[in-house]
Amino acid sequence: MKKICLTLACFVMVISLVNAQSTVPAMTLSTTAFDDGGIIPVKYSQAAEGAAPGGGTSPALTWTNPPAGTKSFVLHMHDLDFVHDKTMDDQVHWLVWNIPADKTGLPEGIPKGTQLSDGSYQISVTGSLYRGPGAPANGPLHHYVVELFALDTTLDTKPAADAFQTRTMIMKAMQGHILSRAAYTGRFRRPQ
């Protein structure tokens, strides 16, 4: 009888722990610029009127429910349909790291510059700036993913010679430090 009660008590405790963990809300990433999975407006692309070549205006992004212990965030925007030099690499449209843990988003139109006013760093294949979507008008819609990672550390990594090398270094440095991840997607091709 004692064994049965002990087994039942352990079972109830495991179920309680599972239920407690499942009630913790997931970290989310969002924007009011376009629906998740929707079409990215030209305003946020390289095709926008007045956009510098390879530039564009970054959309405002917000996030909620970062996990306890978050020390910094990494934001990674990339084009899943782009192939770089016949490798697994896709296009680095925007990589921002060491975003302070107390931030809950990024405003629209982040200015050009390697290091931002909050101490975070940014890079894209164009340089130290947001690179908006730029898929050609005569091809299929490209899929752009914006990923947000909550880390239990601040990365001791400076920008490298190019965005691909920098991304490789950042992704390697993040290993073993990711507490949570959220993603938001959009699709784009240049207007005809």
Whole-number Å distance between alpha carbons of 163 and 79: 14
Bridge pairing between strands 121-123 and 61-64: unpaired
pTM, full prediction: 0.87
Q: How far apart are the first and last CA of the chain?
A: 76
Ordered structural domains, the chain, with CATH: 25-188 (3.90.280.10)
Nearest C-alpha neighbor of 108 from the set 64, 62, 143, 142? 62
- Output 39 or 84, whichever has higher pLDDT: 39
Please give the mean pLDDT across all residues of the chain: 90
1 pLDDT more than 80: no
- What confidence score (pLDDT) does residue 77 get? 98
- Stated as kind and residue range, the H or E segment containing 38 is strand 38-39
Question: For the segment 59-96, what is each residue's pLDDT rounded down to a tens digit?
Answer: 999 999 999 999 999 999 999 998 877 877 889 999 99
Question: For the segment 132-167, what is each residue's pLDDT rounded down to a tens digit?
Answer: 999 999 999 999 999 999 999 999 999 998 999 999
Whole-number Å distance between alpha carbons of 104 and 155: 19
